[in-house]
Amino acid sequence: MLSIFKTFFWLGWISFGGPAAHIGYFRHTFVEKLKWLDDQEYGQIVSLSQFLPGPGSSQVGFALGYKRGGLGGACMAFLGFTLPSIVIMLALAVLSSQLTDTNAFHNVVHGLKLLAVVVVADAAWGMYKNFCQQRLSASICVFTAIALLLIPSIATQITVLIIAALIGVQWLGNSDHRDCAPFKPSVLPLAIFLGLLLGLPIAVQVIPQLGLFNDFFQAGSLVFGGGHVVLPLLQNIVGDQLSQDAFLTGYAAAQAVPGPMFTFATYIGYQLLPNAPILGAITATLAVFLPGFLLLLGVLKNWQSLAQNPKVSGAVNGVNAAVVGLLIAALYQPVFVSAVFKTTDIALVLFGFYLLKQHKLPIIWMVACFIFAGLLKG
């Protein structure tokens, strides 16, 4: 257990670059260097992480730990890989509350908000190319974005995701319709997931203190397509409880730190529970990661038979198209409207997009550039 923790803890400090980069780090460490598994087994784990909702790269790490040391190994892998990012996000949350009255802080925040425009636009474009290759999936994406822009709420998000899944079941399934073996899930993790998903909203009516855990659990249950999708989900959950400046500062910070982007929840949880901020940060973090891990445990042993089912794959394809629409809506509100106010702002956004796409500038250098630009603009 200690060996698993140490390996993932080291990776947690150096894994910059987002989920795609994390998967590369994992392959180099566990396939090439440590030889815990071969490329075929690793590819199956990566495919599973793309199939389920939740934080993709963290699910890959969780599955690797599970393969090496069972449930205890999975927990050690999660703790080791996530802890560095949690520590950094907590430190940033503490410092931001002490610096919010300074002009320099507001200038830095403005620079980071402009960076958020670049990063979210890049994520939306990349996901559109991957998930909206058919006319129907592109239509789902566009109408989802329109619905969220006209009626922004968590109810609208859930409704469009359900509709997209139903459309996908009917028209977006695998065309080969190959026979697949019966799927035999691990019942207990899936039962816990469904119990929490359906029971927490009811329990909150009796125990309001569960509200924070419930909100972040529901968000974690709906995140298909990568960590960026958590942005619109958390935005609607947070609502007016947190200023847009604080929200987007946390989002920009999550881009800059190593490890999983889902630790954005650490920052938000700290801000939402001012009377016990550390408890809020830990609660939000555990809640947003938990759904993806429960689902992973439920289907890990023989997930191929589930992925080959045409109706299931169709539902996933429909939901993936819808989450691109969610991200496009979030790109406008809150990201763009709270960051871009004049021509110099849009010029910086265009220049940042150029650096990211044409010169492949690492995200840590992008952060440094936009902080400097914010201070320079004043």
Q: In the structure, what pLDDT confidence band is assigned to residue 3 with cuts at 50, 70 and 90?
A: very high
Q: Is the pLDDT of residue 225 over 60?
A: no
Tokens of 265: 């929840």
Q: Is there a contact between 204 and 279 (Cβ–Cβ < 8 Å)?
A: no
Q: How far is CA 212 from CA 219, 254, 269, 285, 342, in A?
A: 11, 20, 8, 10, 36
Q: In the structure, what pLDDT confidence band is assigned to residue 303 with cuts at 50, 70 and 90?
A: confident
**Which of the two residues, 20 and 212, has the higher pLDDT score?**
212
Q: Is there a contact between 318 and 169 (Cβ–Cβ < 8 Å)?
A: yes
User: What's the pTM?
Assistant: 0.75
Chain-centroid distance, C-alpha 194: 20
Give the mean pLDDT of 11-27.
78
Q: In the structure, what pLDDT confidence band is assigned to residue 248 with cuts at 50, 70 and 90?
A: confident
Task: Check residue 170 and give its pLDDT.
Answer: 92
Chain-centroid distance, C-alpha 324: 13
Give the mean pLDDT of 174-186.
65
Task: Check residue 183 and give its pLDDT.
Answer: 65
Please name the residues in contact with 357: beta carbons below 8 A apart, sequence gap of 6 or more.
Answer: 122
User: Each residue of 110-147: pLDDT tens digit?
Assistant: 888 888 888 878 878 887 888 899 999 999 999 999 99
Q: In the structure, what pLDDT confidence band is assigned to residue 63 with cuts at 50, 70 and 90?
A: very high
Q: Is there a contact between 11 and 356 (Cβ–Cβ < 8 Å)?
A: no
Residue located via tokens 């199956």: 44
Query: Where are the chain's structural domains?
Result: 104-377
User: Each residue of 327-355: pLDDT tens digit?
Assistant: 888 888 878 988 899 999 999 999 999 99
Task: Check residue 224 and give its pLDDT.
Answer: 66
**pLDDT above 90 covers what percent of the chain?**
38
Task: Check residue 126 and give its pLDDT.
Answer: 82
Closest CA relative to residue 298, chosen from 37, 66, 86: 66
Task: Check residue 99 and give its pLDDT.
Answer: 64
- Please give the full DSSP string across 203-261, using - where no structure is assigned: HHHH-GGGHHHHHHHHHHHS--SSGGGHHHHHHHHHGGGS-HHHHHHHHHHHHHSSS-G
